[in-house]
Amino acid sequence: MSTVEQPHAEQFTSREQQSFAGTFGMWVFIASELLFFGPLLFGYLYLRVHYPEASAAASRHTDYLLGTANTAVLLTSSFLMALAGHAAESGKRPRAMRMLWAVAALGLVFLVLKGWEYHKDFQEHLFPGPHFRPEQDGRLQQLPGMQLFFILYFVLTGLHAVHLTIGILVCLAMAWRLRRPPPVGVSADAIEYAGLYWHFVDVVWIFLYPLLYLVGRAGG
Amino acid sequence: MERHTRIRPLVLTWLALLALLAISAGTSWLQLGWINTAIGLAVATVKVVLVGLVFMRLRMSHPLLRLTALAGLTTLALLFILSGADYATRSAVQAPWQHPSTVAPRLGR
């Protein structure tokens, strides 16, 4: 391997051990993050079991094209993130840096599309509360459970957007700190930890996409 | 730790992910009832497995890391079962507060 040998912190016996401890810590964090999203997903299960028609009717109000486009954007960003990790590992730091800029840019594209979608949702009175007035063919469409769907929609996508924003900031910080070689600059390990977080955020969206955008699309 | 990643599997995974996205996006327009949801979730699971194995490198990582990922999923499943047992064994009592549109004062109208 062409990776530069780096000194390890004093609490570890080797660089490998330090690197593994970091990856392990990141996985524990990801497992706890999964449980952070868990209750919302359980709320969603409750909704689908108790109000199947309302969730299908509500889901048809979400923007299919924007949701699908955003999924493609995130999947591609994950791919570029994997390439960044690969480049950093083989010592190609400028290449890793370019990849991280691209990942951050795609993350930003996702947020812009999502923001536009939120804007449309507000205009269509889909935000839960006293002004919640979904319309179908010009007529008011009120089924019990539709508001619950949109509460979950906004909280789940909002929480995801917060995570993605953190991910973008991490990517930018990593790209910036890649300019200089370690130990002053960032190590390839750090790029891998950032990558694990980014992929987790992608994984959350992979599940949100069919749950929020594809229910009852074919009518029914 | 000897890590041997090549670019080719990453590219193939990316293409597979986009193909899977096309499958779930396309089949959602076929009227299949509950099978639509089943396809959506199955495709999402395959996608997540691909991301986990290739992009997150679980394929060639230490078993402890795979166990950690599995522990997260198992805990989530346990909590779903325990909470679900409660909701599955009670009948929903229709209380007036469940339908704000039928109760005065009518807000926002």
Asked if B44 and A209 come within 8 Å (Cβ–Cβ), the reply is: yes
Nearest Cα to Cα of residue A69 among A101, A103, A106 = A106
Q: What is the ipTM of this complex?
A: 0.91
Span B53-98, pLDDT tens digits: 999 999 989 999 999 999 999 999 999 999 999 888 887 766 655 5
Nearest Cα to Cα of residue B10 among A210, A89, A25 = A89
From B30, B44, B69, residue closest to A27, measured CB to CB: B69
Q: Is A70 on the interface with B (CB under 8 A)?
A: no
The mean pLDDT of chain B is 86
Nearest Cα to Cα of residue A207 among B29, B50, B73, B47 = B47
Q: Is A2 on the interface with B (CB under 8 A)?
A: no
The total number of structural domains in chain A stands at: 1
The percentage of residues in chain B with a pLDDT greater than 70, rounded to a whole number, is 79
Determine, yes or no, domain membership for A50: yes
Mark which residues 189-208 of A lie under 8 Å from B by CB.
Answer: 195-196, 199-200, 202-203, 206-207
Per-residue pLDDT of chain A (220 residues; tens, 9 = 90+): 445 556 888 999 998 999 999 999 999 999 999 999 999 999 999 999 989 999 999 999 999 999 999 999 999 999 999 999 999 999 899 999 999 999 999 999 999 999 999 999 999 999 998 889 998 888 888 888 899 999 999 999 999 999 999 999 999 999 999 988 777 778 889 999 999 999 999 999 999 999 999 998 887 5
Determine, yes or no, domain membership for A187: yes
Q: Residue A194: its chain B contacts at CB < 8 A? A: none
Could you tell me the residue range of the domain that residue A62 belongs to? 19-213
SS3 state of residue A185: coil
Q: Residue B56: its chain A contacts at CB < 8 A? A: 195-196, 199-200
| CA distance linking residue B41 with residue A212, whole number of Å | 11
Q: Is A195:A85 a contact under the CB 8 Å cutoff?
A: yes
DSSP H or E stretch at residue A217: none
Q: Is A4 on the interface with B (CB under 8 A)?
A: no
Amino acid identity of B47?
K
Q: Residue B84: its chain A contacts at CB < 8 A? A: 42, 45
Q: What size, in residues, is chain A?
A: 220
Which CATH number characterizes residue A81's domain?
Answer: 1.20.120.80
Q: Quick one: tokens of A183?
A: 């130990």
pLDDT in the model for residue B106 = 54
Q: Residue B52: its chain A contacts at CB < 8 A? A: 199, 203
From A32, A144, A216, residue closest to B98, measured CB to CB: A144
| CA distance linking residue A38 with residue B78, whole number of Å | 11
| Residue B105 CB burial class (10 angstroms; 0-12, 13-18, ≥19) | exposed
| CA distance linking residue A190 with residue A184, whole number of Å | 13
Q: CA separation (Å) from B56 to A43, A136, B83?
A: 28, 43, 30
Determine, yes or no, domain membership for A5: no
Q: How confident is the model at residue B1 (pLDDT cuts 50, 70, 90)?
A: very low
Q: Residue B47: its chain A contacts at CB < 8 A? A: 75, 206
Asked if A214 and B28 come within 8 Å (Cβ–Cβ), the reply is: yes
Q: Quick one: tokens of A145?
A: 């459970």
Asked if B44 and A210 come within 8 Å (Cβ–Cβ), the reply is: yes
Asked if A199 and B29 come within 8 Å (Cβ–Cβ), the reply is: no
Residue A13 burial (CB count, 10 A): 9
Only one residue has tokens 């960044």, namely: A84
Q: Is B67:A31 a contact under the CB 8 Å cutoff?
A: no
Q: Is A99 on the interface with B (CB under 8 A)?
A: no
Amino acid identity of B38?
A
Determine, yes or no, domain membership for A121: yes
Q: Residue B31: its chain A contacts at CB < 8 A? A: 218-220
pTM of the entire predicted model? 0.90
Asked if A31 and B69 come within 8 Å (Cβ–Cβ), the reply is: yes
| CA distance linking residue B65 with residue A27, whole number of Å | 7
